Structure 1
Amino acid sequence: MNLKRHLIKISAAAAIAFTGVATANTVNNSAAHHVQAATKTAKVNAATPVMTSYYNGKATGKTLAAGSSYKIKGQAVDASGVQWYKVGKDQWIQAKNVTVIKKVAKKPVSQAPTSTTATAAAQKVINLAKKQVGKPYVYGAAGPYSFDCSGLTSYVYSNAVGKNIGRTTYVQLNAGKRVSVSNLKPGDLVFWGNYHVGIYLGNNQYIHAPQPGQNVTVASISSYFYPSYGVRVL
């Protein structure tokens, strides 16, 4: 009888111990792979590769430029204790490469400018810019067969209206009067920080040379890639 009770106690202890180990493993895995919602913004400190996942993810081939900012849509810590931020669908970056800035409200597209009236000079800029659509992005190129972002804008302003706005974004951001995104007019330069520039077309659209592997294209202003400011040259 005593032996039977002893065996029962051993079996119960073993079951509890096994359950405890299983629970501990579950907690550890949960802590390692838990994704939390977030509403802050990450400012990229250095060129940062984008992965498909924070856990055994693959490279997407996309790199976020230094100085760019992205809304953090989620955050997680992988099994190695490395913190990651989600900046888009299947797009994750390591937290060590960014600075988290204060919470900002999502800027709806409705806040983007709605001006559609272009001056004669601005229309010339827009018309020439649209003729470049489809030409490839090549770093350091300023036309007429390929462009980088500031190469496109300098080429268009020079050849459309004879206006020299400089060759680089660092010069072009001082080529005219700075205006808010909500006050953009057709023909204005539109900037993302000091690293990217395009030409505002009106109706919430702009034209730009995006990045290597892509062509000059027309895009719409969105909260995901919201401009920093505009510069009125004309």
Structure 2
Amino acid sequence: MKKSNMIKFSAAALTFLGISATGVKPVKQPAQAASKRIKVISKQYVTVWANYQKGRHVATHLKKGSSHFVYQTATDSMGNLWYRIGKKEWVMAKYFNQVKSAKKAVKAKKTKAKSKKTVKKARAKAVVSLAKQQVGKAYVKGSKGPNAFDNASLVAYVYKQAAGVNTGSSTKSQVKKGIAVDPSSGFAEGDLLFWGSKNKPYNVAIYVGDGKYVTAAGDQQGVVQASLSTYFWPSRARRVL
């Protein structure tokens, strides 16, 4: 036998035995990776089929709450979506919900919290802006605006128009809204500031930032913007937004 033919024969023999001619074993192809994870939401057991055309079902039934990986998706002749969860194991997609990974769940939670914070900040800015626009208007006890206010009706009007929040029309109801804020810890834009007793304060104002607030001060002053003073510091505060 010629030398060239012997080399060809040897290479073919090695290939047949699963060894390459270079002496390196061929790399085994990895199994198909799962595309997502799903969880059974059906109230009953879910049947597992040998193929997505419902040719025959296999012995396995999936319990509610069990989770599985999806390796392939397909649509049958009726337009139903199917998932392949095993070698020859198909289930109808309508009985499942996708399970978020822990990382995605945390990210989604952070995004939601950030979005909520952004909305709150925007509403507070709207409240501050509208409150400042009322400066210079008259004080009339019992008036509900928009041309004249008393201190409680000013708060009620601004919050309703700017943020869609019903604070009530009296300081007695407004001092119970939202959450308590420690007056010594500082205020956020839109906070309600109160002076007087715990259950029935005699005055309320809207904090507008930079140590200032807007309130309907009385017959002579009307609606004013004033600065906080240690001699006239709020006795309590509430965060409504």
TM-score, normalised to structure 2, is 0.47
Q: Which has the higher contact order (CA 8 A, sep 6+)?
A: 1
TM-score, normalised to structure 1, is 0.49
Structure number, greater radius of gyration: 2
